[in-house]
Each structure stands twice: as C-alpha cells, then as structure tokens.
C-alpha cells in the first residue's frame, strides 16, 4: 500500500513500500514501519531548526488533536460542583474520594491524595491510569483487586507523591470504576474526546483545590501514558510530563481511546507520539521506558529526538530517560523511584518522604485500600438525579440555549 510521510515544510512525501504490521516483544502493534518512523524523524531534524519553527509545529499538532476530537473550539466549562467523601488519614498522607462535573451531569470520579500537612499553593500531580487488565464493558477483571486506578502501583505512587508534598488526583478513565454500574462504556467512539476533556477539567479541579497553577505535573503508564502526553499537548498548564512505557515513534496504542479518532493524521498532516510528547517542551519531561515493549528503542531513537527538540531551546538537560532493559510494561517499583526523584528535583518536593538515602523507594506504611473504599458515591453521597448514565447521553452543546 502507499504510505504518506509528513514533511514539516507542508509537503507530502510518498513511498510505495508495502509493510506488514509488525509487533513489539509484548505484542503491541506498530502502526508505522521502522523505516517510516526514522524517515519522519529525519525530516523533523531537517526542517525544524529553531525554537520558533518548533512552536509553530507544536501549534499545528495541538490543533490537529483538538480538531480531530471535536474539541476545537473547546466546550463551555460548567461549574465543577464537586462532591467530597470523608477523609481517611494515613501515615503522612490523606485520601478523599471526589466526583465533579466535567459537563453538566457528566461526572469524573476519583480520589484526591494530599499531605497531612499541606502548604499554601502546593504542586499538583494528575494521575491517569492505564487499561490493564481490561476491567470494563461488563467484563470481569482478571484480578478483581488489580485494575484501573485501584491497582497497588497506582495507590502506592499517589500516596508517596502526596507524602512528598503534592496534591495528587487519581481518576477513572471513561467506562472504568463506579460509573460502569450505570452503563458507561470504555469502548465508545468518543472515548478519546471525553478523556482529554476530563483531563482538562481535572486540572481545573486541582487548581480549585489550591494547587499552584504553575506547578502541575501529569504521569501515567501505558494508556495512562497516552493520556499524559495528550493532555500535556493540548493544555499548557501541564508544566511537567512523565509518560511511562508508552512513548514510541511507531506504536500509537491499541485501544479506541488512543486510535479511535484521527489525531495522528489527516489528508495533509502526519505526526507521531514523539512529536505529541514534545509539545510540552521546554518544560521538564521524563521518559520511562523498558526493553520488553514498544519503548525498547527509547535510548537510541525517541530520547535523542526529544533531546534535539529541547536543544533548540538550549535546554536538552530538561528531558531525561530512565530506561529499564529487563523490566516489563508496568509502573513498577524502580520506575516509581525514578519518577519520585524527577518530581522532587523539578517541583521542590521532599524526596526523603519517598526515597531512601541511596535512592531506593520507600513506600512503607502506605495502605492499599479496597476498591469500594475508593468509590465517591455511597449512602452519604448517592448518585445525583441529573447524572448522565451512559456515553450516549452526553450533551456537548449543553450551553447552546444560554447563548
């Protein structure tokens, strides 16, 4: 088949190469061939040679994402109307379940982790989760205690970051968590659109809770890594980005929330996830990668490409790579340690609250809560009467009668 490569000058280069879809060591499908990806990066280096040129290109990427998802112009923002559960106090941190409206009646559900002693205007961390192990659409999770934001690795990192001094919001992807009992699905044509919008509103929520609007980070793994660089690309309030085991120059994901809308390509435009990730430049960026999935080439391909873009600003040191050649596709303990150190360095957090003097992680005393304990709706906070009960009931034009 004929494939198209975007030339940063606006021209299209054609190749007649027929490519069978390859897969990574962990079975992830590559949407681009190795040759196509490397040629694309060569063109970027050849045509993007100044920070001004990159700013123009980043603006095109942002516009493509928003147009492809139907978010340009952005919808009117409704009041968040947050619903809070009671606080649970633990060793050095506290947790409070919350639900807020991203659109009227459309609730984002999650839990807010915070230090037991909160300073004024603390840094904040947005924590989207990944897909595994596919506990949605009425399917039983492979492990009932180990999916979505309820996974121990997610709870551990959120609590540890809160101990370090950050406000951390861990929230459900569309069609995950408590709202599945009402009929919400993840496999829906507009899941990507709503997840990006929910991320934007989650930033609004963190700022409403007193977070420093100049110090808002985002980090997640796998599908949460995709959300991390998508949100950072379209919302400049993300000042630090840490996508984990997801940034690949030729793999763009495998779920409808990553591929269901044409954010990577239209008739005269093409991009990949390395460029989308680079939209956060020159703010601090950490790539966490492993040698067993589609991020295996990060030290040789993705990281140098991002260093090049950061180098246009004279700040190549602000992008880093923590690579674990033998580790799996997850947000494991060593990966969390690397992220804690990076956040501490750039957000002025207390690294001693999550890392030992030798740099090894210290998550002792963190309580892994039961799934139901992390649900925001209960007998004290029942589902509101006006709650939207499934994806098809969303009204994106809710304010049209007010205009």
CATH number at residue 257: 3.40.50.1820
Question: Are 147 and 272 within one domain?
Answer: yes
Q: Is residue 101 part of a domain?
A: no
Q: Is the pLDDT of residue 13 over 60?
A: no
Do 281 and 142 fall into the same domain? yes
How many other CB atoms are found less than 10 A from the CB of residue 35?
Answer: 14
Per-residue model confidence (pLDDT) at position 5: 36
Instruction: Specify whether 33 is located in the same domain as 143.
Output: no
pLDDT of residue 402: 53
Question: Which pTM was predicted?
Answer: 0.92
Q: Look up tokens 């809710």; give the residue.
A: 398
Are 216 and 318 in the same domain? yes
* Tokens describing residue 94: 């506290």
User: Do the domain assignments include residue 347?
Assistant: yes
All residues at 6 or more sequence positions from 240 whose CB lies less than 8 Å from its CB, including other chains:
215, 216, 217, 218, 280, 283, 284, 285, 343, 346, 347
Residues 191 and 340 in one domain: yes
Pair (25, 163) in one structural domain: no
Residue 15: pLDDT over 60: no
Reported confidence tier of residue 29, pLDDT bands at 50, 70, 90: very high
Question: What per-residue confidence (pLDDT) applies to 374?
Answer: 97
Asked whether residue 107 is assigned to any structural domain, the reply reads no
Assigned domain for 386 exists: no
For residues 106-133, give the mean pLDDT.
94
Q: Which residues on neighbouring strands pair with residue 290, listed in sequence order? A: 324
Domain count, the chain: 2
User: Which percentage of the chain shows pLDDT scores above 70?
Assistant: 91
Q: Which domain holds residue 304?
A: 120-167+186-374
pLDDT digits (tens, 9 = 90+) for 48-102: 999 999 999 999 999 999 999 999 999 999 999 999 999 999 999 999 999 999 9
Average pLDDT, the chain: 91
Asked if residue 335 lies in contact with residue 326, where contact means CB atoms within 8 angstroms, the answer is: no
Give residue 400's pLDDT band: very low, low, confident or very high (50, 70, 90): confident
Q: What pLDDT was estimated at residue 399?
A: 81
Q: Are residues 153 and 256 in the same domain?
A: yes
- Cβ atoms of residues 297 and 290 within 8 Å: no
Q: What is the pLDDT of residue 241?
A: 98
> Is the pLDDT reported for residue 251 higher than 50?
yes
Residue, of 267 and 227, whose pLDDT is higher = 227
In a domain? residue 103:
no
pLDDT, position 20: 64
Query: What's the average model confidence in pLDDT over 38-47?
Result: 97
Is residue 172 assigned to a domain?
no
């Amino acid at each position: 088949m004929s494939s198209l490569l975007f030339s940063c000058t606006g021209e299209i280069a054609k190749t007649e190469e027929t490519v069978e879809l390859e897969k990574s060591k962990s079975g992830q499908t590559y949407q681009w061939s190795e040759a196509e990806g490397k040629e694309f990066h060569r063109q970027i280096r050849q045509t993007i040679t100044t920070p001004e040129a990159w700013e123009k290109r980043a603006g095109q990427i942002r516009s493509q994402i928003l147009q492809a998802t139907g978010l340009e112009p952005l919808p009117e923002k409704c009041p968040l109307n947050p619903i809070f559960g009671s606080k649970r106090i633990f060793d050095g941190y506290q947790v409070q379940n919350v639900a807020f409206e991203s659109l009227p009646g459309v609730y984002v559900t999650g839990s807010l982790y915070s230090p037991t002693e909160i300073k004024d205007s603390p840094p904040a961390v947005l924590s989207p989760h990944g897909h595994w192990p596919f506990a949605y659409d009425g399917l039983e999770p492979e492990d009932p205690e180990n999916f979505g934001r309820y996974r121990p690795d997610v709870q551990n990192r959120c609590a540890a970051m809160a101990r370090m001094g950050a406000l951390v919001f861990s929230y459900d992807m569309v069609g995950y968590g408590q709202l599945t009992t009402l009929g919400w699905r993840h496999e829906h044509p507009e899941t990507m659109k709503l997840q990006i919008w929910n991320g934007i509103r989650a930033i609004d929520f963190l700022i409403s809770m007193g977070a420093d609007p100049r110090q808002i980070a985002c980090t997640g793994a796998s599908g949460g890594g995709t959300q991390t660089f998508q949100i950072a690309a379209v919302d400049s309030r993300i000042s630090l980005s840490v996508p984990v085991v997801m940034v690949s120059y030729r793999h763009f994901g495998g779920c409808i929330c990553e591929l269901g809308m044409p954010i990577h390509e239209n008739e005269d435009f093409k991009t990949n996830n390395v460029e989308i990730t680079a939209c956060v430049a020159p703010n601090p960026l950490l790539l966490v990668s492993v040698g067993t999935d589609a991020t295996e080439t990060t030290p040789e391909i993705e990281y140098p490409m991002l260093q090049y873009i950061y180098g246009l600003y004279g700040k190549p040191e602000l992008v880093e790579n923590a690579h674990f050649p033998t580790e799996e596709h997850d947000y494991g303990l060593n990966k969390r340690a690397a992220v804690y150190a990076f956040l501490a360095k750039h957000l002025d957090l207390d690294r001693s609250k999550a890392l030992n003097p030798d740099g090894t992680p210290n998550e002792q005393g963190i309580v892994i809560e039961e799934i139901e304990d992390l649900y925001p709706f209960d007998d004290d906070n029942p589902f509101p009467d006006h709650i939207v009960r499934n994806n098809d009931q969303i009204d994106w034009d809710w304010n049209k009668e007010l205009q």
